[in-house]
Amino acid sequence: MDTRIDRFNSRRSTVYGTEGMVATSQPLAAQAGLSILEAGGNAFDAAVATAAVLNVVEPTSTGIGGDVFACFRTAAGELGGLNSSGPAPASATTDRVSDIVGGDDPTMPTHGPLTVTVPGAARGWEWTVEQHGRLTLAEVLQPAIRYAKEGYPVSEVIATYWRFAEDLFETEHAKAAYLIDGRAPRTGELMRLARLGETFEAVAAEGAEVVYEGAIAEAIAAEVQAEGGLLTVDDLARFEPTPVEPESVSYHGVDVFELPPNTQGRIALETLAIAAEAGIDPDTFGSVEYTHTLIEAMKLAFHDGHHHLTDPDHVEVTELLDPAHITDRVGRIDPEGALEVDMLDSLAAEADTVLLCVGDTEGNLVSYINSRFMGFGSGLVAGDTGIALQNRGASFSLDPHHPNHIAPNKRPFHTLIPAMARFDSDDWMAFGVMGGYMQPQGHVQVITNLVDGGMSLQEALDVARWRHQEDGGLAIEARFDTDLIHGLLSRGHDLRVRTPIGFGGAQAVRCEDGILSGATEPRKDGTVAAQ
């Protein structure tokens, strides 16, 4: 008999099913993905349908004007990944962008036309259904088209984020597409995104090519150039998504899979490798010693990632998972004191995005993540298309010695990391935690909660989290254990209590011997839809 009920303290129950499951941050999107499964699609079709609907119902965090990544296991047992992140424009040299920015010590702007990189989502969606789905792109876009044109009531967390757009949007195209008389929609208010619906109809009719070589591509390039940016139609036309092979480490008998650079997946893997090599003891899970070791491993991995991870097509990336390197990092951990390590970039501290996980009756599992980087991205909306363009280029550096310096056709360091875990040959999980630099930290905490803490899937997402911050401080949720707080303070950790909004948004779908289980982030508007 399962005795977990004796210590049940989760904020909701884990969801179970056998025929299909979708976990994501907005109920209408999860239900849309499930409807695609019911219509004969598989997990890959449902993933794209869910991502497209999120573009409509949670436009504050994602969109076709951003990038998409996937980590997946097919029913046939193939483990794979997708990197559909776009590069900087071909003319975006460090010198040219620095000249445009101006000043004695120019830095990349946070928003605006220079931050717009090629949006990879449309071709990523198309690749997903064509390579692994059963339905057409046109079929899986129908729920998004319906919600965009007919409208939907805005949910609570999303309405809160939407208010930031009132200050971000300066162009008439942006205001017309996403504001109501100059203001954000309120919670429960019906919102229509008619222009975006028309764009989705064009993509459904003509394919993703229209975003990269047709009328929509021309609108994107014209908007960016009119505001002083460098993106061209040629930049868009050159883009193709890239299949990638996930990397992995084994942590206490569980294999964890992440995507390779230009993502930050290796930060999560390096953390787990350091913790395992340090001899972190599952029997001490939740103790001061255990938590301190995990935090220190995370800090060291962040330091390495921010000094080395970038686009491997442009810069040779140091092998951070080499056993000798891991042993060296373990030697730097002080059991009684907190390390001071530096990170090169703090921009993604508050970035947000969407993540969705899908499983189907055949055994396909997909972790899918789609983002514009920071909310509505650059603040630009392409003409009358309703496409809000990402500001992923803001994470580039204008220092030519920085590993992530901007260069022609170079992809920026990317925070997006969908993930998979293998507990046994017939026990796999698609998971992830959205939210800038919280993502690898969330991955590590979810895995250790499950593997070392023996938690249920939903409980592993519910428990209070910690977050190493870019200034060296350690953020914790108010629900954190008091004894643990005192123990961490005694080891020199600079603790700050933050609201739950700063600790990411996790989703997970697990398939064990044909039984699907799912969990969703309690800090979001999320849900798990199952059948």
**Peptide bond just before 262 cis, omega within 30 deg:** yes
Q: Is the sign of the CA dihedral 437, 112, 108, 68 positive or negative?
A: positive
Amino acid identity of 72?
A: F
At residue 522, the 3 state secondary structure works out as: coil
Q: Which two tokens stand for residue 43?
A: 């997990």
**Peptide bond just before 55 cis, omega within 30 deg:** no
- What is the C-alpha to C-alpha distance for residues 378 and 389, in angstroms, rounded to an integer? 6
Is residue 451 within 8 A of residue 445, CB to CB? The reply is no
Question: 48: which DSSP letter?
Answer: H
Residue 482 has a CB neighbour count (10 Å cut-off) of 7
The residues facing 515 across adjacent strands are 512
Is residue 407 within 8 A of residue 384, CB to CB? The reply is no
HSE of 429, CA atoms in CB hemisphere, 13 A: 24
Region of residue 431 (left: phi > 0; alpha: psi -120 to 50; beta: else): beta
Question: 185: which DSSP letter?
Answer: P
Q: Is the sign of the CA dihedral 444, 531, 55, 219 positive or negative?
A: positive
Q: Does the annotation count 353 as an active-site position?
A: yes
Q: For 187, list phi and psi in degrees, rounded to 5.
A: -55, 130
The residues facing 414 across adjacent strands are 263
Residue 350 has a CB neighbour count (10 Å cut-off) of 14
Catalytic residue among 353, 385, 415, 520: 353
- What is the C-alpha to C-alpha distance for residues 204 and 142, in angstroms, rounded to an integer? 8
Q: For 153, list phi and psi in degrees, rounded to 5.
A: -80, 130
Closest CA to 348 of 311, 382, 302, 313: 302
Q: How far apart are the first and last CA of the chain?
A: 24
Helix axes 438-451, 265-277, angle to 10 degrees: 40
The residues facing 350 across adjacent strands are none
Residue 342 has a CB neighbour count (10 Å cut-off) of 12
- What is the C-alpha to C-alpha distance for residues 58 and 187, in angstroms, rounded to an integer? 12
- What is the C-alpha to C-alpha distance for residues 110 and 238, in angstroms, rounded to an integer? 25
Is residue 36 within 8 A of residue 137, CB to CB? The reply is no
- Which residues have a catalytic role annotated? 353
